[in-house]
Amino acid sequence: MAKKRNSIDVILKRAEKLFETGNYLLAEKEFKKAKHKDNSPEIEEKLAICLKHTQGLKGEEWVKKAQKAESRNDLSGALSCFKEAEALLHEAWLTDKIRDLEQSLLGGEMVARAETAVRNKDYQAAADLYATLGQIHKKEIYLSDSAVCLVKGNMFDQAIELFTSLKSLDDAAHYHFGYALAKQGRYTDALSQWEMIDSGDAAFIAQQHQVLDLAVKQLNASMNAGSDINGILADAGRLLDGKSVHGNDRLVKG
């Protein structure tokens, strides 16, 4: 009986019946069995028609599997399923989705590597990873993190250049930007950054007063050296307007 059920004639009969009723998925399986036993142009033609009909159905099934995986936050599994769907459906949105998932997976891996580099005090590596993340995701927060790492690694010139290019800074960024400026002898600019930070931390207020003293000494030295009076007056005005002169209560929690 088994031989009879699997004979070429019986298989073809089942395949033809399924084909005629529009059950292309099962018909495809039967025509493939027949092809292995005794291929012919007729079988190839019917199989091609089945494949044309079933390709979309299979692609849609892969999309459903991908979406379920994504809902479980299984991004790797979702990516694999979307790739299977894209190979069958060739739709532009699938190509975009695959690219987004690849970037998300790469981003997650790179964030973990950057955090490890920070813990290991490898600040150059961490800065490079955050900079790459900023380029991939087009988000300034990663570039800000990169600049902070540059400050922690005593790469002040690079940090200042990067901070200057950013449109907005959070408290941590303002603090590290100011710290880098102070380390480069730009005391008035440093105080301007720190004044953007709201806090009442005594240690930070003391740090501001210390930098204020250095800024005043720097202005006096510039006046005694006969430097540009307009620049001196501008810096003096910024200091007098600044909260450091009037008892600043601001701090960053770095």
For residue 80, give Cα distances in angstroms to 57, 63, 94, 171. 17, 10, 12, 40
pTM, two decimals, is 0.64
Residue 98 lies in a domain: no
Residue 7 lies in a domain: no
Mean pLDDT score, 52-76: 91
Residue 220 lies in a domain: yes
Domain count, the chain: 1
Q: Which tens digit of pLDDT belongs to each residue from 46-55?
A: 888 888 888 8
Residue with tokens 């950013």: 166
Q: How far apart are CA 251 and CA 242, in angstroms?
A: 14
What is the pLDDT confidence band of residue 137, given thresholds at 50, 70 and 90? confident
Residue 103 lies in a domain: no
Tokens describing residue 28: 């495809």
Residue 193 lies in a domain: yes
Residue 44 lies in a domain: no
Structural contact between residues 167 and 186, judged by C-beta atoms closer than 8 angstroms: no
Mean pLDDT score, 179-201: 91
With a cut of 90, say whether residue 217 has pLDDT above it: no
Mean pLDDT score, 44-67: 89
Residue numbers of the domain that contains 250? 187-254
Residue 77, sorted as left (phi over 0), alpha (psi -120 to 50) or beta, turns out to be: alpha
Residue 118 lies in a domain: no
Residue 60 lies in a domain: no
Residue 80 has what pLDDT? Answer: 94
Residue 46 has what pLDDT? Answer: 87
